[in-house]
Amino acid sequence: QVQLVQSGAEVKKPGASVKVSCKPSGYSFGDNYIHWVRQAPGQGLEWMGRINPNTGDTNYAQKFQGRVTMTRDTSIRTIYMELSRLRSDDTALYYCARECGSSGWCHFDYWGQGTLVTVS
């Protein structure tokens, strides 16, 4: 079955960087884009960006341009999201999610369990 397993919780100081991993399984790694979505305390879901696991091509939300980097390691079938220059308002649950296809015009059908990043 399809699963996306994320790395564990992180506590970081303001100004530091955090790198969260997402390891999909149960399907062909390169067939589906992977997106990152976050939820700050008391807030809704916020799209951060996506990566094509095949090519490494990315799209980032304008809000995070210059601070976020999404990469992949095809040898271990893992996706990474790194956020730099952390601020207290980056404290949030970070989710990876699988796009149902690779066209963009598709919903997110599977989600990781979430990674809590605390900036303090």
Which residues contribute to the site for another protein (CB under 8 A)? 35, 37, 44-47, 49-50, 59-62, 95, 97, 100, 104-114
Separation between Cα atoms, residue 99 and residue 2, nearest integer Å: 12
CB-nearer residue toward another protein: 47 or 80? 47
Q: How far is the CB of 61 from another protein (least distance, A)?
A: 5
**Is 86 within 8 Å of 94 (Cβ atoms)?**
no
Q: How far is the CB of 56 from another protein (least distance, A)?
A: 17
Pairing relation of β-strands 115-119 and 10-12?
parallel
Bridge partners of residue 34, in order along the sequence: 51, 98
Q: How far is the CB of 15 from another protein (least distance, A)?
A: 26
